[in-house]
Amino acid sequence: MSDLLVTNGRVVTQNAERDVVADGALAITDERIEAVGPTADIVADYDADRVVDADGGAVIPGLINAHTHVSDVVLRGGAFAADRGLYDWLYNVKRPASVAMTPDEHAVAAALYCLEAIRAGVTTFVENDTEVVWDAPETIEAKLDVYDTAGVRNVYGAGFADSPPDEAFEALLADYQLRDSGVEHPPADHFAIDTDRAVRETERLIERHHGSADGRQSIWPTPIVLASSSTRGLREASRLAEEHDVRTTMHIAEAEVEEADAGLSSIEYLRNAGYLGERTLLGHCVQIDAGDVRLLAKSGTSVAHNFMANMRLATGFAPVVELLDAGVTVGLGTDNANLNDTVNPLSDLRAVASAHKGYHRDPGVIPAQTAFDMVTIDGARAIGRADDLGSLEAGKLADVAIVDLDHPHLTPCPDPVHALVYAAQGFEVETVLCAGDIVMEEREVTTFDDTAAILRDAAAVGADVVERVGIE
């Protein structure tokens, strides 16, 4: 007896052959997929307590967001965050507001984030929490509690900065902050933490939360950026990842000023520090060259491509085509919600698959299938979960989304992958399962009691924080 059958769908398996079962079904027992095949065969071979009729929709793996930020979701929708470069936006908008938020306000942001992510078909996201104040762990706990309630998978990147800013960086920061002198700016060393304490606190989080929520919660050690990371901190992050069988992630080569030293690239420095490797996921990798690409490929390091945020900040095109050609695993991240301005991977895929063609003047780069891989099986590889996530195959965890294809903009639809990449916008997701549990059905998220209240609370929090901090 299976727990649940998903029937009558166009099953986009994302298996090694990228099979699509035209009238397909899944049998799910406990938290895993028991069988995949034609609906007639599955119905004949398996009884179930419940049947979900996909009604001709696309049945796809739950989407994986390989690099994102959560709390600033309440800061979007306003011109105050627009038309700014990286440091202008980060130090005049995002960080002042994030620091000013209370644990309850972070929890409201987390609920809004999860609500939108689930409605977009996301079942796993990697949060890079770059505004951790380690003296206030209640903020972390408040967010993790919300993620547990939401019922989807979260990788919490516990960000630490164990190398205080030098005088040159403090001067640069002061120059940027002159633009918004009325904003309540946190001190330049506000997030600084001793390396030993960073290791202790991160390990404590791993021991307490990694594998909780029925295995849906993960904790990764996360040096924030190269400028605020010591060599020892990088090595300790890699050690923790190896020792606890997790991964580590950080932002790298996003802005041109990130070079580690004259003649030494950021990627070369990470190689020298022993940080590159199969347990490492690097966000951005925009300012890298052919030699860096080779180092990433040789070391087995994965990359999270944050296309929309990089475009909004005008930091440039990451060499994703070159990375893919070299065999580097590339996942897709929506990055900051007040830059993107969504946390919806499907809405980014069209831009990713199209813009690189124009940039390279080559219509053959990043085909639709390659783009879709970034949010499914390659996303799973990037976070070290390809053995149990990213495709619909027997034995894998039953993280599933059902996309309604019965819309004018998705008609006709001879190739569901092509339609999902170039035409779908995200709101077409009807049903979402995580580990076999239904977390959304008929567009209603089942894990939150009052979704309307989440929207009201998030709007109020966003307005209050912006006014309180003095952002204009």
Report the CATH number that the domain containing residue 415 is assigned in CATH. 2.30.40.10
The verdict on 96 and 85 lying in the same domain is yes
Contact status, residue 152 vs residue 439, Cβ threshold 8 Å: yes
* Bridge partner list, 331: 304
Residue 170 resides in a domain: yes
Contact status, residue 56 vs residue 323, Cβ threshold 8 Å: no
The verdict on 344 and 439 lying in the same domain is no
Q: What is Dmax (Cα atoms) for the chain?
A: 71
Residue 449 resides in a domain: no
- The residue behind tokens 């993790």 is 144
Would you give the DSSP letter of residue 286? -
Q: Output the pLDDT for position 119.
A: 98
- Nearest residue to 378 (alpha-carbon basis) of 405, 352, 413: 352
The verdict on 319 and 193 lying in the same domain is yes
User: Domains in the chain: how many in total?
Assistant: 2
Residue 465 resides in a domain: no
- Nearest residue to 222 (alpha-carbon basis) of 213, 206, 234: 234
3-state helix, strand, coil in the chain (%, to 5): 45, 25, 35
Residue 38 resides in a domain: yes
Domain region containing 24: 2-62+391-443
CATH number for the domain that contains residue 231: 3.20.20.140
Identity of the residue numbered 383: I
Residue 415 half-sphere exposure, CB side, CA atoms within 13 Å?
10
The verdict on 263 and 123 lying in the same domain is yes
Give pLDDT tens digits along the chain (472 positions).
679 999 999 999 999 999 999 999 999 999 999 999 999 999 999 999 999 999 999 999 999 999 999 999 999 999 999 999 999 999 999 999 999 999 999 999 999 999 999 999 999 999 999 999 898 899 999 999 999 999 999 999 999 999 988 888 899 889 999 999 999 999 989 999 999 999 999 999 999 999 999 999 999 999 999 999 999 999 999 999 999 999 999 999 998 765 556 679 999 999 999 999 999 999 999 999 999 999 999 999 999 999 999 999 999 999 999 999 999 999 999 999 999 999 999 999 999 999 999 999 999 999 999 999 999 999 999 999 999 999 999 999 999 999 999 999 999 999 999 999 999 999 999 999 999 999 999 999 999 999 999 999 999 999 999 999 999 8
Q: Which is it for strands 2-12 and 48-53: parallel, antiparallel or unpaired? A: parallel
Residue 459 resides in a domain: no
Six-digit token pair at 70? Answer: 């959560």
Instruction: Please provide residue 182's backbone torsions phi and psi, each rounded to the nearest 5 degrees.
Output: -80, -5
- Domain end marker among 382, 403, 426: 382
Residue 460 resides in a domain: no
* Bridge partner list, 61: 400
Cα 302 from chain centre: 13
Would you give the DSSP letter of residue 185? P
- Domain end marker among 331, 361, 382: 382
Alpha carbons 142 and 149: distance in angstroms, whole number? 11
Residue 21 half-sphere exposure, CB side, CA atoms within 13 Å?
25
The verdict on 9 and 71 lying in the same domain is no
- Nearest residue to 121 (alpha-carbon basis) of 375, 418, 462: 375
Residue 448 resides in a domain: no
The angle subtended at Cα 335 by Cα 294 and Cα 405, nearest 5°, is 100
- Domain end marker among 336, 357, 382: 382
Q: Which is it for strands 429-434 and 400-403: parallel, antiparallel or unpaired? A: antiparallel
Determine which helix (DSSP H) or strand (DSSP E) holds 138, and give its type and residue range.
helix 138-150
Q: Indicate the burial class of 3 (C-beta count within 10 angstroms; 0-12, 13-18, 19 or more).
A: middle
Q: Output the pLDDT for position 319.
A: 98
The verdict on 86 and 101 lying in the same domain is yes
Neighbouring C-beta atoms of residue 208, cutoff 10 Å: 13
Q: Output the pLDDT for position 60.
A: 99
Q: Output the pLDDT for position 469.
A: 97
Question: 30-65 burial string, b = 16+ CB within 10 Å, else e?
Answer: ebbbbbbbebeebbeebebeeebebeebbbbbbbbb
The verdict on 267 and 323 lying in the same domain is yes
Alpha carbons 97 and 105: distance in angstroms, whole number? 11
Compute the Cα dihedral for 438, 443, 444, 445 and give only its sign. Answer: positive
The verdict on 237 and 302 lying in the same domain is yes
The verdict on 13 and 113 lying in the same domain is no
Residue 469 resides in a domain: no
The verdict on 151 and 57 lying in the same domain is no
Alpha carbons 365 and 379: distance in angstroms, whole number? 19
Alpha carbons 169 and 90: distance in angstroms, whole number? 14
Contact status, residue 68 vs residue 125, Cβ threshold 8 Å: yes
CA distances for 87 relative to 374, 419, 455, angstroms: 28, 37, 29
CA distances for 148 relative to 116, 240, 269, angstroms: 16, 24, 37
Alpha carbons 236 and 294: distance in angstroms, whole number? 24
The verdict on 431 and 355 lying in the same domain is no
The verdict on 312 and 171 lying in the same domain is yes
